[in-house]
Chains A and B, each alone.
Chain A
Amino acid sequence: MAEIDKSGQSAMIDQADERRRIIRQGLGRRRRNEAIFRSLGLAAALSAFGFVVVLFGNIVASGLPAFWQVNIETEVTFDPEVVNIEERPVLQPGQSVAEYRREDLAWQRRVSLANWNALIEAAIRQHAPDADVDTRSILSIVDPNARFVLRDMVIENPGIVGETVPIRLLGSANADNWIKGTIDRSLPDHRQQLSPEARALADALHEEGVMRMRFASHLFTNVDSRVAPASAGLAGAFMGSLYMMLIVIVLAVPIGVASAIYLEEFAPQNRLTDLIEVNINNLAAVPSIVFGLLGAAVFINVFGLPLSAPLAGGLVLTLMTLPTIIIATRSSLRAVPPSLRQAALGLGASHTQMVFHHVLPVTYPGILTASILGVAQALGETAPLLLIGMNAFVANIPTSPLDQSTALPVQIFLWQGNENRNFFEPRTFATIIVLLGLMLSLNALAIYLRSRFEKRK
């Protein structure tokens, strides 16, 4: 008996040893697999991070120079010989307002016709008295908008005529290219944007310190311009984007969240709601340009909304954003633990009270994230806007969502196609920086709000 016991015992010990051996054998392989998987994951994360760094680095490196532009700091003498204009008309007693306006406009037109360029030419010539440059070459290094700057100064303050005032004028886009070196300086004359005289003058002025780099604040205050690309700005596109964002926030967020709540919490399960659900999921996968076509066909052709208006654009983007918001909101509602619902119902809360007192408060962060995601997506959308005419050249800052306007991503699209490539390429990146900045601040707001909601719990 005892021997059998012993042999049985040793057999058991053998079995245990064998098991341990097998486990140990497998352990090496498991560890190896684990290490392989972890290093693959790390490599994936690092390469993703690398791409982001390269992308952002490229954008920032290419876009930052566009925030500084060549300026000409000089003194302009408002020569009464050149600026030979009479007193601005004032409202005479007994004169109708309409008549006064007509007179005033006629005066402004006469003021515009003064030879402002002659003042600019004289101002620049005083820095290079010996240079043999023609008028055309001199004016080619100054932004064409400069003459309107002088005109507006006189209209603002007619007393300035006859005086000499220090002034900062924008350099032309071509001069900017030459000074910054965004054009190859060794190119032969016939391939240069400026004449040899103008190039020599620009270099001389730059050396003297008359031409120098200044922060291009007009990028944020001016609208797009074709005549004077150097003074073109983003203000119109920025306001257009802002209006559209406002429309998306006002329409898509409440409609999306409300329909998500209804579908998830209140809707009966039947064929109709199934159909709606399937369609919402399908809509999320529809290419955005299709929404643009829809907007053109419905909002503009049927409802007669103005072409190129942020209202039409905002509505199109609302349609496009709705599925995103609905789907994300529903999934955050679905994630609420059933125990919370039971607790509320068990206390005698009605279904509506359960939803609004308990389910929604815990999903606020999720709903907020969903909304921000949707709005950010809409903010960066370009394709549908092209189809409703928002790629039009608009030289006004829109004052209402019904005014014609463009949008930041569309402005990027427009500028990257500009024929003055070497001037507009950095500007395109600068616009991307502005757009990304807007999105990042939107995300930062979302994170801040979410952490506040979460703290309240």
Chain B
Amino acid sequence: MSRRALAGPPQNTNRFAMHDVLSRTKPISADTRIRITARDVNVFYGATQAIRTISMDIPDCAVTAFIGPSGCGKSTFLRCFNRMNDTIEGARVEGRIEIDGEDIYTPDLDVVELRARIGMVFQKPNPFPKSIFDNVAYGPRIHGLVRTRGETEEVVERSLQRAGLWKEVKDRLHEPGTGLSGGQQQRLCIARAIAVGPEVILMDEPCSALDPIATAVIEELIDELRTNYTIVLVTHSMQQAARVSQKTAFFHLGKLIEYGDTEQVFTRPAERQTEDYISGKIG
């Protein structure tokens, strides 16, 4: 474990401490491919509008962080990308969202296929009440990605290794996943998501239920996963956004206030509201 991990995320929201943290994230190069395009997206829950006309481009092989005060719509917007809002009664999404140029809200798109391409990690670790092995193997099995027992074992081992959990659980793969610690459970959920081989991973406050050390482990994992996946991360912690993301979007009251390179957003915010938020005046 690195020094950063041991130290844990700093708890204050002081902007000056942020410089130190930010020195670890590099802005991504300008020619990076755009993975997700959102245009004029509105989301309604019944009569209330949760998202107000948001457009943004999310780059490939990078971590994009959504920050903002509670109830600002960042989680709602995240859930548009794998159409999890469909499962909420009365939720309605307007506008256009494309992944690799393909509209994901066309009627002939199958959400099952979409969700196989876009993995999701939730706020609270939610392993299935099954064995660790079955937790990871479930996705590949239902999508028919593995045929033999050997293939399944290979995928499970690879996914657990990528999630940094293999060493801890390799001797107890057949024990229930719910018996792991909170941080291990969350890494199991990440392993479960990447076992399907998604292109994008959505993370909805993945560390909010974890202690600082477990958080640091997950953050390091996110940083490693960035090389292969497009990661969109919703977080309450600005330090976390600053530590692991390359792009940061600041939401407020359902609007996208500012979106840019993480370093720029935290050091030279263009908007007054962003500055107020990251300096702790609102939130």
Contacts and interface: CB of A to CB of B under 8 A. Distances in A.
B169 to A, nearest CB: 18
B128 A346 contact: no
Nearest to A358: B128
Contact of A457 (B114, B122, B143, B176): B176
A295 B112 CA distance: 46
A110 interface: no
A448 to B, nearest CB: 20
B176 A339 contact: no
Contacts of A361: 129
A349 B176 CA distance: 20
Contacts, number: 64
A342 B142 CA distance: 16
A343 B189 contact: yes
Contacts of B128: 340, 343-344, 358
Contact of A343 (B112, B113, B127): B127
25 contacts: A337-B126, A339-B126, A340-B129, A341-B87, A342-B120, A343-B122, A343-B128, A344-B128, A345-B84, A345-B87, A346-B119, A347-B119, A347-B120, A347-B193, A348-B112, A348-B115, A348-B116, A349-B138, A349-B142, A350-B112, A353-B142, A357-B142, A362-B129, A457-B129, A457-B130
A346 B124 contact: no
Interface string A295-336: 000000000000000000000000000000000000000000
Interface in B85-135: 87, 89, 112-116, 119-120, 122, 124, 126-130
Interface in B45-96: 82, 84, 87, 89
Interface in A226-278: 269
Contact of A342 (B87, B113, B119, B192): B87
B196 A342 contact: no
A357 B130 CA distance: 11
Given A342-B87, A457-B129, A348 B196 contact: yes
A362 B124 CA distance: 19
Contacts of A341: 87
B129 A347 contact: no
B122 A346 contact: yes
Interface residues of B, number: 28
Contact of B115 (A269, A340, A346, A358): A346
A347 B189 CA distance: 10
**Main secondary structure on A side of the interface with B:** helix
Interface string A360-376: 01100000000000000
A343 B135 CA distance: 10
B139 interface: yes
A200 B124 CA distance: 84
A347 B192 contact: yes
Contacts of A353: 142
Chain A CB within 10 A, most for which of B128, B130, B139, B176: B128
Nearest to A350: B112
B139 A347 contact: yes
Interface of B: 82, 84, 87, 89, 112-116, 119-120, 122, 124, 126-130, 138-139, 142-143, 176, 178, 189, 192-193, 196
B142 A346 contact: no
A364 to B, nearest CB: 11
Contact of B142 (A339, A348, A362, A457): A348
Contacts of B113: 348
A110 to B, nearest CB: 73
A322 B71 CA distance: 43
Nearest to A457: B129
B276 to A, nearest CB: 33
A125 to B, nearest CB: 76
Interface string A82-108: 000000000000000000000000000
A339 B139 contact: no
A350 B176 CA distance: 23
A353 B143 CA distance: 11
B139 A340 contact: no
8 A-B pairs closest in CB distance: A348-B116, A348-B115, A346-B120, A339-B126, A343-B126, A347-B139, A457-B129, A350-B112
Contacts of A346: 82, 84, 115, 119-120, 122, 193
Contacts of B124: 339
Contacts of B112: 348-350
A348 B129 contact: no
Given A342-B87, A457-B130, A457-B178, 6 more contacts: A339-B122, A340-B126, A342-B120, A345-B84, A347-B115, A347-B119
A350 B193 CA distance: 16
Interface string A421-457: 0000000000000000000000000000000000001
Nearest to A344: B128
